[in-house]
Amino acid sequence: MTKRLTRMSLLTALALIIFTIEAQIPAPVPIPGVKLGLANIITVYAMFCLGPRDTLLMLLCRIFLGSVFSGQMMTLFYSLSGEEREQLIQAIFAFQRKEMEELRSDSP
């Protein structure tokens, strides 16, 4: 339990650092809410190492703290909508990967 919590905390801190650095970079497209999403690299890593439940908790902490640190609460809503879709897609891919592994192990 402690090891998992420590790993979640470190990954959240790392993603938050990347999130705040990315907030200082000008957007490539002048559309509100559009950004590179470099902190999602940590999210993908967390999805496969921690699982979907812990990754979701980590994401919620990063999004809330990132919005507070950047001082833009509108970022909270943009990030939550994007992360919701990302979590769904990653969960689908993880489920399909498990099914493919089961099929491979069942075949002679």
Please report the pLDDT score of residue 98 as a whole number. Answer: 74
| pLDDT of 108 strictly over 70 | no
**What is the C-alpha to C-alpha distance for residues 63 and 35, in angstroms, rounded to an integer?**
14
pTM beyond 0.85: the answer is no
Contacts of 83 (CB under 8 A, 6+ apart): 43, 59, 63
Here the tokens at position 48 are 């496969």
Please report the pLDDT score of residue 77 as a whole number. Answer: 80
* Geometric angle at alpha carbon 95, from 93 and 97, rounded to 5°: 70
15 vs 31: which has the higher pLDDT: 15
Contacts of 107 (CB under 8 A, 6+ apart): none
| pLDDT of 88 strictly over 70 | yes
Where exactly are the structural domains of the chain?
2-106
pLDDT, tens digit, 9 for 90 and up, residues 18-64: 988 887 888 777 877 677 788 888 988 888 888 878 888 888 888 88
**What is the C-alpha to C-alpha distance for residues 38 and 22, in angstroms, rounded to an integer?**
7
| pLDDT of 91 strictly over 80 | no
